[in-house]
Chains A and B, each alone.
Chain A
Amino acid sequence: MDLKRRTFLKAAAMSAATSAAAGMSNARAQTRGGIDDDSVRWDKAPCRFCGTGCHVQVGVRDGRVVSVAGDQHAEVNRGLLCVKGYHVGLALYGQDRLRTPLLRQGDELVPISWSRALDVIADRVELDPSGFAFYGSGQWTIPEGYAAQKFMKGGLGCNHIDPNARLCMASAVTGFLATYGVDEPAGVFDDLDVADVVITWGNNPAEMHPVIFSRLIDRRSRGEEIELIDIGTRRTRTTDHAQRYLEFNPHSDLAVANGIAHLLLERGTWNRDFVDQHCAFRWDPGDPTLRGEALAFDQYREMLREYTPERVEEISGVPADEIRHLADLFGDPEKRITSLWCMGMNQHTQGTAINTLVHGVHLLSGHFGRPGDAPTSLTGQPSACGTVREVGTLAHALPGGRVVANAEHRAQTEEIWNVPEGRIGSSPGYHTMAMWSAWSRPESDGGDIHTIWVQVTNPGQTLPHLHGNFDPGVRDPNRFLIVSDVYPTVTTQAADLVLPSAMWVEKNGMVGNSERRTQQWFKMVDPPGEARDDTWQTIAVARRLYDRGFAGMRDRDGNFLFRVEDEGREVPIWEWDHYYDVNVDKHLFEEYRLFTRLKHKDLAPYDEYVAHRGMRWPVVQQEDGSWRETRWRFAGFDDPYVEDGREFQFYHSSSSDDRAQIWFRPYVNPPEMPDEEFPFWLCTGRVVEHWHTGTMTMRVPQLRAAMPNAYVEVNRADARRLGFTNGEMVRVESRRGHVDVPVWIGGRGAPPPGSVFVPFFDERVLINNVTLDAYDPISKQPDYKKCAVRVVPLNTRAAH
């Protein structure tokens, strides 16, 4: 590198670092299309990875991403990125990017043309549209998810579309719906800037949402007092920063939440005014449901009576005094308390229940709706909220909080899509677990899904109990698997047809992060080879079906379902050469936006998102024509939909009286617990360096070098008792399968005695061969955080 250029690069890096240090907003080249002195063109994009939704500045030169920097103008991250974020550009350039469609012939995947690939998919649809399923993702962009949703429910008249987000945040959705009658958090990341107390419920934001967590670190570095309480089943880096670590027996978080509620009532420290004015009580006398039945306050109090601190200690292992301390905090109206959670509470066979209980503790104590007082779920994927929850790419849902089971909602959707009345089916399709089960079971056993099209996800690594839910379908010659992805994965290895996809800034995109923030970016570089946008793939298949006369791909007027016009002429967006003649994302988004007003989740016009680093919905237009985002929902001082003069209003209340629901849910045992044969709890999860299954991050040399392989964390006392040494290969085995993996003692996380942890990022260690596929009865989300295993030595050491 010549000296001049190196000097320039260093100056650029220093500028970014100095701006971040000063919290200033003067970083270079922040505008679209800005070109710096080194011929690098800079533009904004959200990070490809987690639900924090950090904005990065992306530098492009000669058609290649060459530099990234934290975006100083982004409120979410204020110029910061985590280790994954600052390597996000490199994730594009693994050498084995998929570049051409591949079709299985025998044991081989052989290159074919796109035209042939589209025909193959159209053939599979025509075989029987009702047996064709779409398995998507919280990494789908909003337009990608919207196109797939319309293709399936509006085109095929088939509701078998569900996302991988079913595996990661479905219980948060049902928790919000059961409590407020509408999904997604009321609070925002700003709560962390003013909270006095932050409680992490089975959550490790220090590693999983590090930029959000940095707000707390930053405040502490300025001398602010923040009490961080980590309630978990394993010590993590978050624990290292916590004043209190409350270790609970797996599954017993329900007892902890009930214990707090019990003490609030017994001590009279619950917020009587807030509850009287804004809350109602609910329970499920029979099978678990989303709506339950009304409960009188006295009955609620009686049901909680058994959750004394001592009884909760017995169930959960959390000392009674720590339960009292939590009740002290919630009973103090002066404190501002934010609860955070993610997979720990969601991947839980009682996921809906624990979500509602944590909301309930906040509502009962009135720690809700003031800045800093918020029960806030975090999402793992960049658009689990924007695409899955808002576009509604779930088997039962329609865009904008509509559901297929509601005739009025179907009619509204059919109107916006301009499809014939009755096109949308009234029965929910298969949720993720049912979909893969129906694909894996033989027809004779009720298996009625013949084809699944997978986009932007890797179910061959992430489904629980893979031997039961994935492998049988792969082996069945009548089953067909289509996978659109950017790299070879365990899933593409099993696929019959592989489609190469464009990734991140190789395409236009929009996503929605964990705090209702919708974000937009433009395509900056070309995808490699013949890789193409997922949205284009969906539209091109739709067009192939249209050309074959498939009725579902015509609207009421006989036009193509995805018709896009420019100056009155139809643009052939199904032809790749013309796809970028118009901004297809913008067309899809503007159509989708019509739905968002139906449930007070209003989005602004596309161009507003071009101009901003995201905006949080509901976004409403003001008298002067500008667009205003909302930070605190249901709170009169900020939410435009709260009636004038009201402090709070839960305007989607499931009891239709503007009240939120405080639920009683009892502690119940998990479906599988350690026993003599399988004496350990197994918990699975993520690591800071790798994005979920490692498909992208394992191709980034720095990230791979930092965390090269999976391991099993074993408690030191257990290791001593069993004679395990660091690095020794052991077999982690359940009733369903096993993996062989090296032992890590005293590692990054510290499981308690009787418990082990294995991350799932490593495709060579398919820990989901071991996990259990039991799921929450309401959300249908499986529990990856607990099953029973044994750990046995292999008596070999892994090669160095």
Chain B
Amino acid sequence: MPVTGLVLTVTDEDSRRAVMESLRLLGYVDIGEVHDLHIPVVVESDGVADEQERVRTIAAMPAVSHAVVVHFDFSDLSDAHMPEAREFARARRPIGSQIPLTDNFVGKPAPSVRRGTS
């Protein structure tokens, strides 16, 4: 089952504590030694979909400005988890609003940044 190492960047020192408290409530997260605004965490998951959901949940926490996955172990994923694309091509097609809005890497805008003008 996937084990994922993440680095979270929080917006400021005050919110760091709140983020860590929220993380501690999640049974599947281990927290490492904090460096400034960067929090290393490890996420354990039961499967592929689960892992993605958990990473996304953490990245979407308030005050987390940035979440980067730096380590991913999938040694327990068997071929059975690897559907072929042709099979997928015949699968039903999720549409429109049901397309997941992933935030796997970049997360949200840094709060110090003003929204651009157009």
Chain A residues in the interface with B (C-beta under 8 A): 1, 6, 9-10, 12-18, 20-23, 40, 59, 61, 66-70, 79-83, 86-87, 89-90, 93-96, 206-207, 210, 213-214, 217-218, 220-222, 228, 230, 235, 237, 239-245, 247, 322, 487-488, 688-689, 694-695, 698-699, 701-702, 704-709, 711, 725-729, 742-745, 747-748, 752, 763-764, 797-800
Q: In whole angstroms, how far apart are the Cα atoms of A763 and B85 in the complex?
A: 10
Q: Are B70 and A80 touching (Cβ within 8 A)? A: yes
Give CA–CA (A433, B79) in the complex, Å: 39
Per a CB cutoff under 8 Å, which of B39, B52, B110 touches A702? Answer: B52
13 additional contacts, CB 8 Å, given A214-B68, A745-B96, A798-B96?
A12-B3, A13-B4, A20-B70, A67-B71, A70-B71, A81-B68, A89-B74, A95-B84, A96-B86, A221-B66, A221-B110, A487-B85, A711-B95
Q: From B3, B49, B76, B99, give the contact of A744 (CB < 8 A).
A: B99
Does B27 sit at the interface, judged by CB under 8 A? no
With most chain A CB atoms within 10 A of its CB, the pick from B52, B69, B110 is B69
Q: Which B residues are in CB contact (< 8 Å) with A94?
A: 82, 84-85
Tell me whether A705 and B84 are in contact (CB under 8 A): no
Instruction: Out of A79, A705, A797, A799, name the residue touching B52 (CB < 8 Å).
Output: A705
Q: Are A90 and B5 in contact (CB under 8 A)?
A: no
Using Cβ atoms and an 8 Å threshold, which residues of chain B touch A705? 48-49, 52, 100
Contact between chains at A93 and B82 (CB < 8 Å): yes
Residues of B within 8 A of A745 (CB): 96
- Kindly identify which residue among B5, B74, B105 contacts A210, using a CB–CB cutoff of 8 Å: B105
Contacts of B9 in A (CB 8 A): 217-218, 221
> Given A86-B70, A210-B105, A707-B102, A61–B75 Cβ distance below 8 Å?
yes
The answer for the CA separation of A748 and B37 in the assembled complex, in Å, is 27
- Among B3, B95, B118, the residue within 8 A (CB) of A9 is B3
In the bound assembly, the distance between CA atoms of A349 and B92 in angstroms comes to 38
Q: Name the B residues within 8 Å of A235 (CB-CB).
A: 116, 118
| Per-residue interface assignment for chain B, residues 80 to 115, with 1 indicating a CB less than 8 Å from any chain A CB and 0 otherwise | 011111101100111111111110111011101111
Residues from chain A with Cβ under 8 Å of B5 in the complex: 12-17, 20, 69
Instruction: Among A18, A67, A728, point to the contact of B74 (Cβ < 8 A).
Output: A67
Query: How many angstroms between the C-alpha atoms of A688 and B115 in the bound complex?
Result: 21
Cα–Cα distance between A89 and B69 once the two chains are bound (Å):
14
Residues facing A in B55-80 (CB within 8 A) are 65-66, 68-77, 79
CA–CA, A589 to B12, complex, Å?
48
Q: Are B104 and A706 in contact (CB under 8 A)?
A: yes
Residues of A within 8 A of B106 (CB): 206-207, 210, 213-214, 217, 237, 241, 688
A760 CB to closest chain B CB (Å) equals 15
Bound-state CA distance A711–B100 (Å) is: 12
Chain A: minimal CB distance from B100 (Å) = 6
Which residues on the B side are within 8 Å of A80 (C-beta)? 7, 68, 70
Q: Which of B1, B4, B34, B77 contacts A90 (CB 8 A)?
A: B77
Cβ contacts under 8 Å, A727 to chain B: 95-98
Expressed in whole angstroms, the Cα–Cα distance for A222 and B36 within the complex equals 9
A237 CB to closest chain B CB, in angstroms?
Answer: 6
A729 and B95 alpha carbons, distance in the complex (Å): 9
- Asked if A689 and B99 sit within 8 Å, CB to CB, the answer is no
The chain B residue sitting closest to A711, CB to CB, is: B99
Determine the distance from Cα of A727 to Cα of B33 in the docked complex, in whole angstroms: 44
Choose from B32, B36, B115 the contact partner of A14 (Cβ within 8 Å): B32
Whether A214 pairs with B117 at a CB distance below 8 angstroms is: no
Query: Could you tell me the distance between the alpha carbons of A698 and B65 in the complex, rounded to whole angstroms?
Result: 28
Task: From the candidates B1, B39, B92, name the one contacting A799 in the complex (CB within 8 A).
Answer: B92
Contacts of B93 in A (CB 8 A): 708-709, 742, 764, 798-799
Q: Which residue of A lies closest to B47 (CB)?
A: A701
Report B7-34 residues with CB < 8 Å from chain A CB.
Answer: 7, 9, 11, 30, 32-34
Determine the distance from Cα of A40 to Cα of B3 in the docked complex, in whole angstroms: 15
Q: Distance (Å) between the CB of A798 and the closest chain B CB?
A: 4
Instruction: Looking at the assembled complex, report how far the CB atom of B93 sits from the nearest CB atom of chain A, in whole angstroms.
Output: 5
* CB pair A18 B40 closer than 8 Å: yes
* Cα(A763)–Cα(B86), bound, Å: 10
A221 touches B32 (CB 8 A): no
Complex Cα gap A689–B44 (Å)? 21
Cβ–Cβ < 8 Å partners of A68 in chain B:
71-72
Inter-chain contacts of B94 with A (CB < 8 A)? 708-709, 800
B81, A701: Cβ atoms closer than 8 Å: yes
* Residue in A16, A22, A241 whose beta carbon sits within 8 Å of that of B109 in the complex: A241
Asked if residues B71 and A13 are in contact (CB atoms below 8 Å), the reply is yes
Q: Which residues of B contact A210 (CB under 8 A)?
A: 105-106
Shortest C-beta distance, A270 to chain B (Å), equals 27
- Within 8 Å by CB of B99, from A61, A79, A707, lies A707
Across the A-B interface, give the 4 residue pairs with the lowest CB-CB distance, nearest first.
A727-B96, A245-B116, A17-B40, A66-B75
A1 CB contact (under 8 Å) in B1, B36, B40, B42? B1
Q: Are A747 and B99 in contact (CB under 8 A)?
A: yes
A371 to B96 Cα, complex, angstroms: 44
A-B contact pairs, 26 of them (CB 8 A): A1-B76, A6-B44, A12-B73, A16-B71, A17-B70, A20-B7, A20-B68, A21-B7, A22-B38, A40-B75, A69-B5, A81-B68, A83-B69, A83-B105, A217-B66, A217-B110, A240-B109, A242-B113, A242-B116, A244-B116, A244-B117, A699-B84, A701-B81, A701-B83, A707-B102, A711-B96
A92: nearest chain-B partner, CB-CB: B82
Question: In the bound complex, how far is the Cα of B110 from the Cα of A213, in angstroms?
Answer: 13
Q: Give the distance in Å from the alpha carbon of A577 to the alpha carbon of B93 in the complex.
A: 44
Q: What is the distance, in angstroms, from B53's C-beta to the closest C-beta of chain A?
A: 10
B1's closest neighbor in chain A, by CB?
Answer: A1
B52: chain A residues at CB < 8 Å are: 702, 705-706
A458 to chain B, nearest CB (A): 12
* Beta-carbon contact of A728 and B96 below 8 Å: yes
Decide if B118 touches A245 in the complex (CB within 8 Å): yes
Give the complex CA separation of A213 and B89 in angstroms: 33
Distance (Å) between the CB of B4 and the closest chain A CB? Answer: 6
Q: When the two chains form their complex, are residues B40 and A764 in contact, meaning their CB atoms are under 8 A apart?
A: no
Min CB gap B64→A, angstroms:
11
**Distance in Å from the Cβ of A628 to the closest Cβ of chain B?**
30
Q: In the docked arrangement, what's the CA distance between A729 and B93, Å?
A: 11
Closest CB in chain B relative to A685 CB, distance in Å: 16
Inter-chain contacts of A83 with B (CB < 8 A): 69, 102, 104-105
Q: Is the CB of A21 within 8 A of B34?
A: yes
Are A230 and B96 in touch, CB under 8 angstroms? no
Which residue of chain A lies nearest to B107 when distances are taken between CB atoms in the complex? A217
Instruction: Name the distance in Å between B51's Cβ and chain A's nearest Cβ.
Output: 7
Q: Find out whether the CB atom of B83 lies under 8 angstroms from the CB atom of A17.
A: no
CA distance A242 to B110 in the complex (A): 10
Residue of A228, A707, A743 with most partner-chain B CB within 10 A: A707
CA distance A218 to B118 in the complex (A): 25
Chain A residues with Cβ below 8 Å from B30 are: 10, 14
A residues in contact with B32, CB < 8 Å = 14, 17-18, 21
Minimum C-beta distance from B88 to chain A (A):
6
Q: Point out the residues of chain B lying under 8 angstroms from A222, CB to CB.
A: 36-37
Do residues B48 and A86 form an inter-chain contact, with CB atoms below 8 A?
no
Report A478 CB to chain B, min CB distance, Å.
29
A220–B36 Cα distance when bound, in Å, is 13
Question: In the complex, what residues of A have CB within 8 A of residue B104's CB?
Answer: 82-83, 688-689, 706
In angstroms, Cα B83 to Cα A487, docked, is: 13
- In the bound complex, what is the Cα–Cα distance between A694 and B86 (angstroms)? 12
Q: Are B42 and A17 in contact (CB under 8 A)?
A: yes
Contact indicator A217/B65 (Cβ below 8 Å): yes
Q: Is the CB of A21 within 8 A of B75?
A: no
**Is A81 in contact with B95, judged by CB distance below 8 angstroms?**
no
Residues of B within 8 A of A706 (CB): 52, 100, 102, 104
Which partner residue on chain A sits nearest B102 by CB separation?
Answer: A706
Of the residues A89, A213, A247, A742, contact of B96 by C-beta under 8 Å:
A742
